[in-house]
Amino acid sequence: MNGIAYKALGSPAAVEFYYDDHNKKIGLRRCDPSKKFAFKVKQEKGKDHYLIYAGAFCTHFAISTKRTVLFENPEQKPDHMVVVDMSKTTRISRGSR
């Protein structure tokens, strides 16, 4: 995630994921890193973007992760939750070869 999204989430050390299968939306909200289902947020060295290793979340909900995508128009909720729509994405990598 980029620095703007990171700040919108309140510059978290960890996030929780929420999934709405019916509407194909994913929510992220900051949480305590010691929480059971917390995913740690790590800054890429020397860059203004952040990584969240969410493979377990994607596997659990059978979300395909074959390539990197840009989520268009993420929604910021009043409670610092950021919601992305999986049907509104732009492909930014070729995927596996």
> What are the structural domain ranges in the chain?
3-91
Identify whether the C-beta of residue 9 lies closer than 8 Å to the C-beta of residue 82: yes
Higher pLDDT, 15 or 70: 15
Quick one: pLDDT at residue 27? 96
Q: What is the largest CA-CA distance in the chain?
A: 41
pTM: 0.84
pLDDT digits (tens, 9 = 90+) for 24-83: 999 999 999 999 999 999 998 888 889 999 989 999 999 987 778 888 999 998 888 999
Quick one: pLDDT at residue 94? 61
**How far apart are alpha carbons 64 and 47 in whole angstroms?**
27
Q: Which helix (H) or strand (E) holds 76?
A: strand 75-76
